[in-house]
Amino acid sequence: MDKRTLGNGLEVSALGLGCMGISHGLGPASDRADGVAVIRAAVEAGVTFFDTAEAYGPYVNEEVVGEALAPYRDQVVIATKFGFAFDGRPSGLDSRPEHIRQVADASLKRLGVETIDLLYQHRVDPDVPIEDVAGTVKELIAAGKVRHFGLSEAGVAVIRRAHAVQPVTALQSEYSLWWREPEAEILPVLQELGIGFVPFSPLGRGFLTGKIDASTTFGKGDMRGTLPRFSVEAREANQALVDLVRAVAERRGALPGQVALAWILAQQPWIVPIPGTRNIGRLTENVAAARLELTADDLAELDGAAQRITIQGDRYPEHMQRMINR
């Protein structure tokens, strides 16, 4: 697989693997052996960039990722995150310097590594100045515990302030054909500062694959069942976008999900999407998207038609939306 460079020199595969769904958010966790098998299949397919977090599980996802990647440690880049509170703090967030240090040490143990390649702040904590957060990660980098610093779902002002203290290698936020909000302000600032972009949910949490429609039901523990954008009414309204992607896919002899990923890859050379899956067949489909080159006409058709479609439904319910501090 082709490589791309995030920020100040972090080279990764053009597509990464978001590992969250193996343990968290899509119903009961996968069997541990199955999770390990999917991650190792990704390595064999050329993926070198793997994304996890202490919050996924919580905790267990880092252990699965660490076990799966142990034989390949010198070939891969592992990203994890700090920033959520598990002690009942009112905001649900905790980026106090002492907590960051504790989380980093715990993540190192769970992952079974000596250094975390990329450590993100999972969500901006309004109670802790971002300068203190960046300064703490800078100290962890100096100590050899972390290589690169990242942010997730941060706004322009926060990105600039953090970057002034410790260069930000990557911003991770949602981005896809059905969530293009980062294009207005975030992407120009990332380009200006030389920061890479790592879109999560590049397939619209599966919706852009065309395998979800108004009749789909979500099982217990599948977070999509709680998201306004996945209400029956929203899915019916948003089907127009899937139909558009499917039309381009049929013309190119590809799958809708592959077109959605190829569209993201065509936006900038410093963008690295991290589609997640717990299925090796879906993994194979996603990896093939890195070889699909959309034409200028394909891109113009997708952009033009998508701009005429108003996507229905909020990304998150209100209590989760409050944690996105832009």
Q: What are the φ/ψ torsions at residue 150 (nearest 5 degrees)?
A: -135, 160
If one counts every other C-beta atom within 10 angstroms of the C-beta of residue 232, the result is 12
DSSP code of residue 228: G
**Measured on CA atoms in the order 192, 9, 263, 158, is the torsion positive or negative?**
negative
For 109, the token pair is 């143990």
The C-alpha atoms of residue 71 and residue 82 are separated, in whole angstroms, by: 25
Nearest alpha carbon to residue 79 among 97, 61, 98:
61
Render 165-217 in DSSP notation, one character per residue.
HS-EEEEEEE-BTTB-GGGTTHHHHHHHHT-EEEEESTTTTTGGGT---TT--
If one counts every other C-beta atom within 10 angstroms of the C-beta of residue 162, the result is 26
The answer to whether 76 and 49 are in contact (CB under 8 A) is yes
Identify the burial level of 33 via C-beta atoms within 10 angstroms of its C-beta, where 0-12 means exposed, 13-18 middle and 19 or more buried.
exposed
For 71, the token pair is 């034989």
The C-alpha atoms of residue 25 and residue 50 are separated, in whole angstroms, by: 17
Estimate the share of the chain in helix, then strand, then coil, as percent rounded to the nearest 5. Answer: 45, 15, 40
Cα Rg of the chain, angstroms? 19
Q: Which residues are catalytic?
A: 56
